[in-house]
Chain A
Amino acid sequence: MASTTINPTRMELNRLKKKLTTAIRGHKLLKDKRDELMRQFLEMVRENKALREKVEAGILAANKNFVIAKAAMSSEALKVALMAPKQEVFLETSERNVMSVNIPVFEYKTRTSDPNDIYSYGFAFTSSDLDGAVKSLADILPDMLRLAEVEQSCRLMAAEIEKTRRRVNALEHVMIPQTQETIKFITMKLDENERSTQIRLMKVKDMMLAEAHGYND
């Protein structure tokens, strides 16, 4: 597609040739990036799916336990028991760079050194079901954290893959063919100019010869 605004000059031709090389190299790099991102993404999304199923099942079970615990205690007693948490979870976050996507990495720390120190109440006035319920929830906490990490990574990677794919397609189907077309147009135009110059020179030579020697054919 040769638009009317291009100058069929050698300078323009050189510029376009350089642009085409860059575009082809960029296309190759972006394609590699997309493929690698995709590979990592698929790995991660599988883990995400497995973790999500596990966590959802875990929370469901924990919720059941809490319902049972609640049934055995008055809601006031339950509120009092869980009012002042003993444990506190802190997150240390860092970032990992996967193909220019910064995905979060969480590391968690608990306030007390014993991670099992989760019972914020005396055992005398609460139902034993509550212990089980709190324990079941505590057991899935590491998985929940990992889920948060993986799911956020998947979200970010999916966005990046989409962007990269668009770029690859734009280069492959628009940018590169367009530049090639323009280069072809300029080359042909230049050739055409050269031919017409040649012909003009031949014509002029003929005319000059005719004038000098009286040739007339």
Chain B
Amino acid sequence: MYKMAVLGDYDSIYGFAALGLDTFPVGDTTEAAEQLKHLYKGNYAVIYITEAMYNALGEILEQFEEVALPAIIPIPGIYGNTGVGIANVKAFVEKAVGSDIIFNSEN
């Protein structure tokens, strides 16, 4: 039985606690990296992480990329959408197809 975690700054994530997700408010990147490693070993299938943290963690996230679980998913925080989520999807298409054929038509 897996659980879901939300990682990010307190203001962006406190609402998820009401839904029954485990929230882990963190202040800075080092703390976030620590916490992420901890969560990674724990019983979590999905880790939502605010885009701001996602950007800041950058390299640390790369080592988690090729495993099936947990899924690390960026979500927009309270400070707005940085577009990293869509950029990720775009990167998948580029990786698989060789060039971006999904987003091209709109830009």
Q: Which residues of A does B touch, CB under 8 Å?
A: 38, 41-42, 45-46, 48-49, 52-53, 55-56, 59-60, 62-63, 66-67, 78-79, 82-83, 85-93, 95, 102-104, 106, 110-111, 118-120, 133-134, 137-138, 141, 144-145, 147-149, 151-152, 154-159, 161-162, 165
Contact = CB atoms under 8 A, between A and B. Distances in A.
Give the interface residue-count category, chain B. Answer: 35 or more
A56 B46 contact: no
B3 A90 contact: yes
A85 B95 CA distance: 40
Interface of B: 1-4, 12, 14-21, 45-46, 48, 65-66, 68-69, 71, 73, 75-78, 80-81, 85-86, 88-89, 92-93, 95-98, 102-103
Contacts of A147: 73
A106 B77 CA distance: 24
A41 B98 CA distance: 13
A152 B1 CA distance: 19
A67 B15 CA distance: 11
Given A38-B97, A91-B2, A104-B69, A49 B89 contact: yes
Contacts of B3: 88-91
B55 to A, nearest CB: 15
Contacts of A144: 48, 73, 75
Contacts of A48: 89, 92
Contact of B78 (A67, A93, A110): A67
